[in-house]
């Protein structure tokens, strides 16, 4: 059973999410919040597996709430739900520690799959948003000599040659199956390497590993073929 806290300032939106989740046997809504401050308090109190977090709310917004939830070190993972297909705050929420993004108009099965993935420790970004969100995020990074930054980073130095390849591929947004195909290895092997990469670089999930790859200059928007 996956427990969920719904955070949105629109009562009808919360009701819609609750109706969907309560009609699904493997999810349970443990609470609701209408703004970020309440979300932080209820996350600490209820310890849900997943928090469905709106971005734009009165008072404390979803970005600051996400930052505080993640900083608390609790078990809850945040899945951002946004109305906008390229929210200007998306990169800030990624850096704050969100485990994924979905649009509010996603199909019910996409939302449920996203919740399950995030609860399992994976990460999810709506397919239509993946490259655009990462490109938007990258535009906020400082332009500096990144190759030296990566080479000097102890987390990168701890990776084996194969793990480094996997890390760079993750940064380009490749799925496990795509990495397996391009590196000519079994997908199960890729999954094992991904787990080791996340542990060595200290990333909570795949999204955070991608952010680190961008920070270190190992991934770039619109990479050449």
User: pLDDT digits over 143-164, tens only?
Assistant: 544 555 677 788 999 999 999 9
The pLDDT assigned to 164 comes to: 94
pLDDT of 6 over the 90 cut = yes
pLDDT tens figures, 40-87: 999 999 999 999 999 889 999 999 999 999 999 888 999 988 776 555
pLDDT of residue 223: 44
Whole-number pLDDT of residue 45? 96
Mean pLDDT over 87-103 rounds to 74
Residue 90 confidence (pLDDT): 64
What is the pLDDT at residue 214?
Answer: 79
Confidence check: pLDDT of 173 > 50: yes
Instruction: Check residue 225 and give its pLDDT.
Output: 40
What is the percent of the chain where pLDDT is above 70?
82
pLDDT reported for residue 85: 56
- Ranked by mean pLDDT, the top range of 22-26, 91-95, 125-129, 206-210 is 22-26
Supply the pLDDT for residue 224. Answer: 39
Q: Which residues contact 59 (CB under 8 A, 6 or more apart)?
A: 35, 36, 37
Q: Please tell me the predicted confidence (pLDDT) of residue 135.
A: 60
């Amino acid at each position: 059973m996956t427990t969920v806290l719904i955070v949105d300032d629109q009562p009808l939106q919360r009701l819609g999410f609750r109706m969907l989740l309560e009609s699904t046997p493997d999810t349970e809504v443990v609470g609701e919040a209408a703004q970020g401050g309440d979300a932080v308090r209820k996350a600490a109190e209820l310890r849900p597996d997943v928090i469905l977090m709106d971005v734009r709310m009165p008072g404390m917004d979803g970005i600051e709430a996400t930052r505080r939830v993640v900083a608390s070190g609790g078990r809850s993972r945040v899945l951002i739900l946004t109305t906008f297909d390229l929210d200007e705050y998306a990169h800030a929420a990624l850096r704050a520690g969100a485990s994924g993004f979905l649009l509010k108009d996603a199909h019910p099965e996409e939302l449920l799959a996203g919740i399950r993935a995030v609860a399992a420790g994976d990460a999810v970004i709506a397919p239509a948003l993946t490259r655009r969100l990462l490109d938007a995020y990258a535009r906020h990074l400082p332009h500096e000599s990144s190759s030296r930054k990566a080479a000097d980073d102890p987390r990168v130095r701890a990776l084996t040659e194969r793990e480094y390849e996997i890390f760079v591929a993750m940064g380009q947004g490749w799925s496990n199956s795509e990495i397996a195909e391009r590196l000519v290895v079994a997908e199960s092997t890729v999954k094992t390497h991904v787990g080791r990469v996340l542990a060595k670089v200290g990333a909570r999930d795949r999204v955070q590993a991608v952010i680190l790859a961008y920070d270190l200059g190992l991934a770039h928007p619109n990479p050449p073929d």
